[in-house]
Structure formats: C-alpha cells, structure tokens
Amino acid sequence: MKDRALQHSTLARALVIALVGLVQAPLVLAQDSGSGEEEAGTLDKIIVTAQKREEALQDVPVVVTALSEAMLEDNGVRDIKDLQQLVPGLTVTSTQSESLTTARIRGIGTVGDNAGLESSVGVVIDGVYRPRNGVGFGDLGELERIEVLKGPQGTLFGKNTSAGVINVVTKRPSYQQSAEAEFTVGNYGAIGVAGSYSDSFNDMAAFRLYAAKRKRNGYLDVSTGSGPRVDTEDQDQNFHTFRGQLLFEPTDTLDILLTGDFTNRDENCCASTTIIRGPTAAILDALSVDTGVAPVADPFARRAWANRSSAQYMKDKGVSGQVDWETPWLNGATFTSVTARREWQSTNGIDFDYSTADLLYRNPQESDNFTRFNTFSQEFRLTGSTDKLDWLVGAFYADENLRRNEAYRVGSAYEPYLSIALLSRINPLLATSPTAALFLSQASGRPFGTVFAGHAAADRYEQDSKSLGLFTNNTWHVTDALDLTLGLRYTREKKDLASRYSNPNGGLGCGAMLANPAQVVAALVARGLTVAQASAAAPSVVGFACLPWTNIQHNGRSTDQSREEKEWSGTFKAAYRFNEHAMAYFSAARGYKAGGFNLDRVQSNNGLSSGTAGIVPVNDTSFDGEFVDSFELGTKTTWLGGNLLLNATLFHQEYSDFQLNSFLGTSFVVRSIPKVTSQGLDAELLWQTGGWMVQSGLTYADTKYGDDPLPDADLVLLPGSRASFAPKWSVTGSVGYEWDLGSNLEASAHLGGKYMSDYNTGSDLDPQKEQDAYSVFNARFVIGRRDGRWDVELWSQNLTDADYYQVAFDAPLQTGTWNAFLGAPRTYGVTFRVKY
C-alpha cells in the first residue's frame, strides 16, 4: 500500500510540474504554427455562461467542463446521472428512490434520503435553480450544452452551491422549420420514442416542442416470498416527458422565452442486494416461505428479496419566463428577469428490511410517503460593460414550501423476528427456545401479535423556506493582459418547520414496557437469567421495543422550529493573459450552504441531537450552515491554432461545519463535521483534428475529514480519514472519429470511459462499504446520410459490464448484514433517427 501511495504521490507531482509549464509552451507553439496548421476550429470558441454572461471558455477563470450537444449525444447523456461519465471528479448516486439522487464534486456532497437536507452541488436548468438534486433528474430532452462548474459558485448561482454547479442549457426555438424523431430498442426490453418540432409564427415569434416516452424492464430480479408484492423486477423505467417553449423577439433589443415542462414517472425502485450475509439472516429465513434474504451473498447476480412494493410515482412540472432586454441606458446594459414556478412530488413504497420476511415497510400511497416541493423563484440581473469594466448586479428570491408525509408499518414477522434477535444479543442459547418468538409478548404483557401491529408511525412535516440574495460580480480590465474580478453576495435565509407525530397503533408494546419495567425483568428471569443479569439487559429490550417508529413517546407530539441566517459570501479572481493562447489565474472564494432541519424522528438518551442512543424524543432537529474557503491556481492554454485546449488547476478547499447525513439503522441524522479538506488537481484536454475528437479529464482529490475526535460512536473512523465517495483519482477519456462513406453517407465511432480509484460509500466509513477501483466504458457507432436526414446508431452503456456499488449500507435491524444499491449493468441497443 505504501508503494502504491508513493507511486501516486510521485505521479501527482510530475503532473503538477508538467501542467504548470503549460503557461509558457503555447508562447512558443503559437510562433511555430504556420499555414500548414488547420484554421482555428470551434474549440477555442466554446461559449459558456459560468459568470452569467456569454464568454469564451478559455477566458473564464473558473474550472468548467463544457459539454457540447455532440459530446452529450455521443456519450448517451439523457439525464444528469449519465453526465458523470464525462466529468472527472463528479459522482452521482441513488439510494432508496431515484428521487433521492445526489451529486458530489471532488468528493464533496451531501448524502440523500433526507428531504430536509439540501445539496452541495446546485442544479440549474435553463436559468432556474432546482431545490434538490433529485428534483432536477429526468430526461433533459434536446440539449445545447451542459456546464459543470467546480468549487463554490454561490456568488452568482446562489444558495447551496458550495461544491459546484451543474448548469444545463436546452435548445431554444428556431425560426427555421425543423422536426426530429427517434426510436430506440435495447436489452432489458428497452423501448423509447422521442420527437421534437420547431417552427416560427412570423419573423418575431417561434416555438419548440419536445416529447419522449421511455420504458425498460428492471435490472434486478426480485423474490417476493408470500407477498403482497407482485412485481418480480426492480429498477425498471417507465416515464414520459414534455417541454414546450415560446420565443418572442418583438424588437432587436428584447427577447422573451416562455417554457413549460412536465414529467411523470411510474416505476419500481429501489431494492438492494446482499453483499454480506449476517447471523440474523437465518431468523429471516425461518420467518419466510422461502429464504428471507440471499442464501449466499452474491450482489452482482442482481437478485433481490422483498415482499413489499417499491413502486415510485413522481411528477415534476413547472413554468418559467426569461426576459432579456438591452436597455438604452448605461451603455446598453442588459436587464434579465427569470421567473419560475415549479411543483415536484414523489410517492415511494419501501421494504425497509429488504427481505421477504414481513417486518417493516411503507406503502406507495400519499398517506404513507409523500414529498412535495412548491417553489417560486425570481431573479433579476443587470449587466453592462465599459472599456475597463464588466459589471453585474442582481437579486434572487425563492419561496419554497416542502410537505412530507412519512409512515412506518410493521408486518406480522416483526414481533417474532425482534424477539428472537433480542434474545440472540442477550444470550444466543436463549434464541433456540421453541418459545423465543413469544419473548416480547411476555415482556410487554400483551397477547402475541398485538405488541406491534399495523400502522406504527404517521408523521407530517411542513417547511416554509424563504431565501433572498443580493449579489454583484465585476471584472476590472486593469490592462490588456490583467483582469481582476470581485464578487460579493448577501444571503438571508429563513426556515419554519412544523412537525406533527403520531402512532396510529398507539405504540402499545413500547408503552406497556415503559409503564411496567418489572414485567420486562420478569420475562428475562423466566428465560433463565439472574435478576442482576435481567436488570442489566432490560434497558436494551425496552430500547428495541421503542425504536423510533414504535416509540409511544412520539405519539401526539407537535414541534415548531424556526431559524434565520444572514451570511456573506464572495470571490476574488486575478487572471493574466500572456497572449491569446495562454492565461493563468488565481481565485479565492467563500462559499455557504444554509442550515436546516432534520425531517425524521430523532431520539437520544437525553433529548438532544448530540446525545447518544436512547429513546427520549428530540425536539430540536436543526443543524448549522456549512461554509467553505476555496483557493485555486490554474492555467488555460490553446494550441494548434485553436484546435487543442489544455487546462489545469490546483485547488485547496476547507469546509467547516460540513453537513454529514448518516443512517443509524433506525433513522437519519445530520451532524456537523468541524473540518473537511479537499485539495488536488483538475486537468482537462480537448483536441480536434480532421475527423478526430479527443476529450480527456483528470481529477486528483485528496479529500479528508479533520483530525478532531468526534463525539458520536458511529463516526469513530472519520477523523483523519478520506471522506466517503471521494476517490483520489478520477479519469475520463473519449475518442471519436467521423468519416465519409461514398458520396451521400457518413459514419462515426465513439468510445468513452471513466476510471474511479477505490473509495468508501458509507458515511461511517465501515470497511464493508468499500468500493474497489473500477472503469466504465460507453461505445457508439453511427451511420447515416451526410445531410443528417437519417441515421442509425448502435450503442452500449457500461460496455464491459463493470460491477460496482452506488451505495453500501447496514441492512436495517440486521446485525452483521450489509446491502448495496448497485450501478447499472451493461445495456445495449439501436436508435433510429430521422430529421427534417
């Protein structure tokens, strides 16, 4: 291991030395490129909006991965999850539901599964901020480009962008009539149709329509036991989406774009597979008509066990309007207004025990599980320039209403399973008794089958969040070569949360044990323990009887919480252009992500979020805001007459009060980690020559938790360790070639891949959750008419069928068992397109 670490360290130093030297290399190369070189292609003219104005990629002192329509199409990118294949340092994962998808950049991000926790990587689609990563995931339709900005971007992109931004720009309406249709078939029964149409009403108005429908069988086969689940597949796909745009340009100085979109998903997701089978698995087997879980841990056999539904229903819809007006004032300053109203909702069934034993579940209905965001946002910007100054001032306002219903239901196997499992913990010999399944009935004094019954928990959360931001970003052209940029943002964030808790079944078992603890001791003594032994073991029995969903102390609780934050963030950049081919820059930024509230039942031994395991309900579920100080030193260089771009950046980021979301086996909690440091190198290459296009990127990120000891027992492995989901090395590469076939046809071939070094997928860094290094490759071959009227595409995603975990986790209530949500297997198919 030391040799490998030394090898990586040496390689990193060599890369740094080589890339720093790039600042000088283009000075020589530019003098040598004569008439024999190709005329400057499009690469040095790539336009991005990383600073909320259109600029050439090579002029922007920000780490930006800019992906064109062609690159996205070549790599089969339809949603943001597909995007990680092209961006080094970006990881995107899903867990209990596709709605809980989370993006991370340079190893920094926030684990999903908690609606109260906001993202560290912002998603912006056509200028509209999406409040959670999962809200912004779906078929993106026709794309013009996607920009991935790394490092804190809160000055211009607002709240919750402390790790970066994914900025999606879709195609706008065209005045030239055009139509496109595609039909796709693939393995796993995949079938998809999509179409678009764009035209003009007159010379001042145009529109574009896009619609798609996609279906696919599941990646997992599911053993359903005695049900009631009937679906024998999971992680299938079934959705349709629509987007319409109207563009009005009544004058040369006024541009109005109206957009409406709607997406509906009706799928099954997400079952998990067993990666380590623990001792409690035998109890599940005994309580099931078949094996309760996998008889042998073989996760990539892609077989899951679940007797309850994992159906998910999601709807995402919204309208927005963007106005760009070139005013007659301030030297033709441009006024921009972006107004949006969006609604997103999700309902998801979950088999919490991921087995065919009927333990704990949630039905796919609104009364059990329902999350909805209603969001109104408004942004105003005024941008202008003089010979010496590019300036921007703006304001952003967002009003978000979050509603969440959360339920837990216990099945008929819950009581006998918990009885046997508890006795096994106290003394394994006790669990072999023929009456072991009756233990909790005896401990509570209630008839068997009534200790825990039916609808155990039904909680309602409603959170109102209002955010106001005032910002400015200004670049002073000190000389023709030197630019200085200063950005500043003031944010006021206010959240109000009303939480209402209930136990429809009354929490009778827990209540009986709390009311009569002597009964618990007596039941243990009857099992052969001494009074002293029984008295020592009794609190553990009560603790398991009063897990959050069955804890009678939550029944009828109501809490109201409020928090307000007023924070400053900003950036300073200095960029020096040696000539038109080489630029170096330094940037410093202060980023901020708002605090919030944990939307889950939380309990401890003292009623405080900082307390250790216990059964006392916690009223204050708030967590503090997250801050980051970031520093970057980078170069952007242009070679070969504009057809080769080579950029590199050294970065150092220090996060304070890092928001870590952890699953404790019974609930999710958010803890503030005092310090997380991420430092390393980002590099990217784009090369175009003849029919060839080559793209490559590299991120080396040493992302670690601080050395300070942490008070929580489950976080003992964190101090000084590499953060979860933080591979040291992330490398992307793709190569494509186009050539003519006769007078009317052309063909192209494309191969892309991404390598990720090993990393841990668990917030507690359990070694069982380690993901080994792996690579994923995508391939495409296209043949069609040269004028683009039609083409046929053969494609494969995950060409080599690489096996990897998205997230590994402790199987709930199952000591010594670990499960995982898997990455997608190899898929392949053919797509036929026609264009007009």
Residue 650 above 80 pLDDT?
A: yes
Residue whose token pair is 């998603």:
123
Average the pLDDT over 633-646 and give the result.
95
> Which residues are CB-contacts of 28 (< 8 A; sequence separation ≥ 6)?
none
Asked whether the beta carbons of 573 and 585 are under 8 A apart, the reply is yes
Q: Is residue 276 part of a domain?
A: no
Tens digit of each residue's pLDDT (9 = 90 or more) over 329-363: 999 999 999 999 999 999 999 999 999 999 999 99
**308: CATH:** 2.40.170.20
* Alpha-carbon span 91 to 84, nearest angstrom: 6
Q: Is residue 83 part of a domain?
A: yes
Average the pLDDT over 42-50 and give the result.
82
Burial class (CB in 10 A: 0-12, 13-18, 19+), 229: buried
Residue 410 above 90 pLDDT?
A: yes
* pLDDT of res. 94: 82
Q: Convert 709-727 into a string of H (helix), E (strand) and C (coil).
A: CCCCHHHCCCCCCECCCCC
Token pair in block for residue 390: 């590019």
Token pair in block for residue 341: 């109203």
- Would the CA dihedral through 599, 600, 606, 610 be positive or negative? negative
> Which residues are CB-contacts of 183 (< 8 A; sequence separation ≥ 6)?
192, 193, 831, 832
Token pair in block for residue 716: 């003992």
Q: Is residue 139 part of a domain?
A: yes
- Would you place residue 133 in the very low, low, confident or very high pLDDT band (cuts 50, 70, 90)? low
Q: Is residue 253 part of a domain?
A: no
- Give the mean pLDDT of the chain: 91
Please state which of the ranges 127-136, 711-720, 741-750, 779-788 shows the lowest mean pLDDT.
127-136
Angle between helices 508-515 and 517-526 in degrees, nearest 10: 90
Q: How far apart are the first and last CA of the chain?
A: 58
* Alpha-carbon span 560 to 539, nearest angstrom: 30
Cis peptide before 269 (omega within 30 of 0): no
* pLDDT of res. 170: 94
Asked whether the beta carbons of 601 and 549 are under 8 A apart, the reply is yes
Please state which of the ranges 12-21, 738-747, 759-768, 813-822 shows the lowest mean pLDDT.
12-21
Between β-strands 164-170 and 121-125, what pairing exists: parallel, antiparallel or unpaired? parallel
* pLDDT of res. 5: 42
Q: Convert 388-411 into a string of H (helix), E (strand) and C (coil).
A: CEEEEEEEEEEEEEEEEEEEEEEC
More confident position, 118 or 177: 177
Domain that holds residue 476: 2-228+258-271+282-411+452-507+551-835
Tens digit of each residue's pLDDT (9 = 90 or more) over 288-317: 999 999 999 999 999 999 999 999 999 999
Please state which of the ranges 4-8, 44-48, 466-470, 717-721 shows the lowest mean pLDDT.
4-8
How large a percentage of the chain has pLDDT more than 70? 93
Cis peptide before 228 (omega within 30 of 0): yes
For residue 235, give the DSSP letter: S
- Would you place residue 143 in the very low, low, confident or very high pLDDT band (cuts 50, 70, 90)? very high
Distance of CA 729 to the CA centre of its chain: 19
- Would the CA dihedral through 661, 663, 668, 670 be positive or negative? negative
Asked whether the beta carbons of 780 and 74 are under 8 A apart, the reply is yes
- Would you place residue 808 in the very low, low, confident or very high pLDDT band (cuts 50, 70, 90)? very high
> Which residues are CB-contacts of 359 (< 8 A; sequence separation ≥ 6)?
284, 352, 353, 410, 411, 413, 414, 417, 813
> Which residues are CB-contacts of 97 (< 8 A; sequence separation ≥ 6)?
134, 269, 270, 312, 346, 348, 350
Q: Is residue 347 part of a domain?
A: yes
Residue 673 above 50 pLDDT?
A: yes
* Alpha-carbon span 478 to 488, nearest angstrom: 19
* Alpha-carbon span 403 to 536, nearest angstrom: 42
Token pair in block for residue 223: 């053993």
* pLDDT of res. 665: 66
Beta bridge partners of 375: 342, 400
CA angle 47/129/475 to nearest 5° reads: 45
> Which residues are CB-contacts of 372 (< 8 A; sequence separation ≥ 6)?
343, 344, 345, 346, 402, 403, 404
* Alpha-carbon span 529 to 433, nearest angstrom: 14
- Which stretches of 580-667 are assigned E, i.e. beta strand? 582-593, 596-597, 603-604, 616-617, 622-623, 626-639, 644-663
Residue 137 above 70 pLDDT?
A: no
Amino acid letter, residue 267: E
> Which residues are CB-contacts of 667 (< 8 A; sequence separation ≥ 6)?
548, 600, 601, 602, 603
For residue 823, give the DSSP letter: P
Residue 25 above 60 pLDDT?
A: no
* Alpha-carbon span 116 to 495, nearest angstrom: 11
Q: Which of 825, 826, 821, 824 is nearest to 275 (CA)?
A: 821
Token pair in block for residue 177: 């009539």
User: Measured over all CA atoms, what is the biggest interatomic distance in the chain, rounded to whole angstroms?
Assistant: 96
- Would the CA dihedral through 785, 787, 788, 794 be positive or negative? positive
Q: Is residue 441 part of a domain?
A: no
Asked whether the beta carbons of 588 and 636 are under 8 A apart, the reply is no
Distance of CA 32 to the CA centre of its chain: 46
Residue 96 above 80 pLDDT?
A: no
Q: Is 307 helix (H, G, I), strand (E, B) or coil?
A: coil
- Would you place residue 76 in the very low, low, confident or very high pLDDT band (cuts 50, 70, 90)? confident
- Which stretches of 39-83 are assigned E, i.e. beta strand? 47-48, 55-56, 64-68
* pLDDT of res. 32: 38
Q: Is residue 179 part of a domain?
A: yes
Residue 20 above 90 pLDDT?
A: no
More confident position, 286 or 75: 286
- CA dihedral in degrees (555, 557, 558, 561; nearest 10)? -120
Q: Convert 91-153 into a string of H (helix), E (strand) and C (coil).
A: EEECCCCHHHCEEEECCECCCCCCCCCCCCEEEEECCEEECCHHHHCCCCCCEEEEEEEECCC
Please state which of the ranges 392-401, 552-561, 630-639, 709-718 shows the lowest mean pLDDT.
709-718
* Alpha-carbon span 622 to 495, nearest angstrom: 10
Helices (H) and strands (E) in the chain, counts: 11, 45
* Alpha-carbon span 331 to 756, nearest angstrom: 49
- Would you place residue 18 in the very low, low, confident or very high pLDDT band (cuts 50, 70, 90)? very low
Domain total in the chain: 1
Q: Which of 555, 364, 366 is nearest to 457 (CA)?
A: 555
* Alpha-carbon span 293 to 353, nearest angstrom: 10
Q: Is residue 482 part of a domain?
A: yes
* Alpha-carbon span 145 to 69, nearest angstrom: 5
Tens digit of each residue's pLDDT (9 = 90 or more) over 232-275: 999 999 999 999 999 999 999 999 999 999 999 999 999 999 99
- Would you place residue 101 in the very low, low, confident or very high pLDDT band (cuts 50, 70, 90)? confident
* Alpha-carbon span 261 to 130, nearest angstrom: 14
- CA dihedral in degrees (183, 185, 190, 194; nearest 10)? -10
* pLDDT of res. 6: 43
Asked whether the beta carbons of 571 and 535 are under 8 A apart, the reply is no
Between β-strands 790-797 and 774-785, what pairing exists: parallel, antiparallel or unpaired? antiparallel
- Would you place residue 463 in the very low, low, confident or very high pLDDT band (cuts 50, 70, 90)? very high
* pLDDT of res. 662: 78
Average the pLDDT over 438-446 and give the result.
97
- CA dihedral in degrees (215, 219, 221, 222; nearest 10)? -80
- Would you place residue 120 in the very low, low, confident or very high pLDDT band (cuts 50, 70, 90)? confident
From residue 610, alpha-carbon distances to 546, 602, 606, 622, 669 in Å are 19, 11, 9, 11, 10
Please state which of the ranges 111-115, 550-554, 619-623 shows the lowest mean pLDDT.
111-115
Burial class (CB in 10 A: 0-12, 13-18, 19+), 807: buried
Half-sphere exposure of 677 (CA within 13 A, CB side): 10
